[in-house]
Amino acid sequence: MIYSGWFTPPAYTKDTVFGIYQFYYNETAPAITQGVLDSGLVITFGQLDGYVSTIWPTDQVAALPITLSYMEGSTTYTDTWSALDSTGNLQIQFVDNLNLYGGISNAHKFRYVIIPVGASLNATSVKPGQESGNGSLQTSSSVREVIQNYRQMSYAEICRRLAIPQ
């Protein structure tokens, strides 16, 4: 298991594709190898503390993609945060449905977890009874369960099952 610390993009690059604004930030991630892209899983988490707490509660964490819909007056806004993995890189992307943003808050934080899948899972990634840095036991069955169900699990549950410090 490989996981990053939390990182906060200092600035986003604004791009326009087919008239739609897109903001993105590239985080160097050497642990995302071609092997991981071919047969592993990368889960990117966001803590979107740049929003007011009625839209996104402070310190709430979820796996990307995250879509937020909210009302201001009679206008519905939809913000979408996603992650694109490529060899050695993790791109955080943001799009809003009304092209209103001129910039993005630098209060948002992200981290990723890499889970190797396939033959290497039992052989090298997880040794039964292996302890993590926080003393929790990590088992191959916990890893398989996360791989199969991470979309239905909370961030805290994934961290607990993978013995990753929050």
Question: How far apart are alpha carbons 149 and 147 in whole angstroms?
Answer: 6
- What pLDDT is stored for residue 140 in this prediction? 74
- Give, as one character, the DSSP assignment of residue 158: H
In a domain, 151, yes or no: no
In a domain, 64, yes or no: yes
Domain count of the chain? Answer: 1
Task: Tell me the residue range of the domain where 15 lies.
Answer: 2-117
Question: How far apart are alpha carbons 116 and 42 in whole angstroms?
Answer: 9
In a domain, 124, yes or no: no
- What pLDDT is stored for residue 1 in this prediction? 79
In a domain, 63, yes or no: yes
State which residues of the chain have pLDDT below 50: 119-137
- What pLDDT is stored for residue 32 in this prediction? 95
In a domain, 132, yes or no: no
- What pLDDT is stored for residue 136 in this prediction? 46
- What pLDDT is stored for residue 118 in this prediction? 57
In a domain, 145, yes or no: no
In a domain, 84, yes or no: yes
